[in-house]
Amino acid sequence: MAELPTTPSQTVGPYLHIGLTWDDGPYVVPEGTPGAVWLRGTVFDGAGQVITDALVETWQADVDGRFDPGWRGFGRSDTRDGGYAIHTVLPGAVPGQAPHIDVSVFARGLLHRVVTRIYFPEHEHSDDPVLASVPPERHDTLIATRTDDGYRFDVRIQGERETVFFDV
**Residue 139 binds other proteins (CB under 8 A):** no
Neighbouring-strand partners of residue 127: none
Contact 76, 22 (CB under 8 A): yes
**Residue 69 binds other proteins (CB under 8 A):** yes
Interface region with other proteins, contact rule CB under 8 A, candidates 30-38, 45-53, 82-90, 146-154? 45-53
**Residue 166 binds other proteins (CB under 8 A):** yes
2-31 binders of other proteins (CB under 8 A) = 2-20, 22
Q: Give the residue, chosen from 50, 109, 121, 149, that forms a contact with other proteins under the rule CB under 8 A.
A: 109
CA atoms within 13 A on the CB side of 111: 1
DSSP per-residue string spanning 97-163 = S--EEEEEEEETT-SS-EEEEEE-TTS--TT-HHHHTS-GGGGGGGB-EEETTEEE--EE-SSTTPP
Q: Smallest distance from the beta carbon of 71 to other proteins, in angstroms?
A: 9
Interface residue list for other proteins (CB under 8 A): 1-20, 22, 45-47, 49, 51, 53, 57, 59-61, 67, 69, 72-74, 94-97, 100, 102, 104, 106-115, 129-130, 133-134, 138, 157-159, 162-168
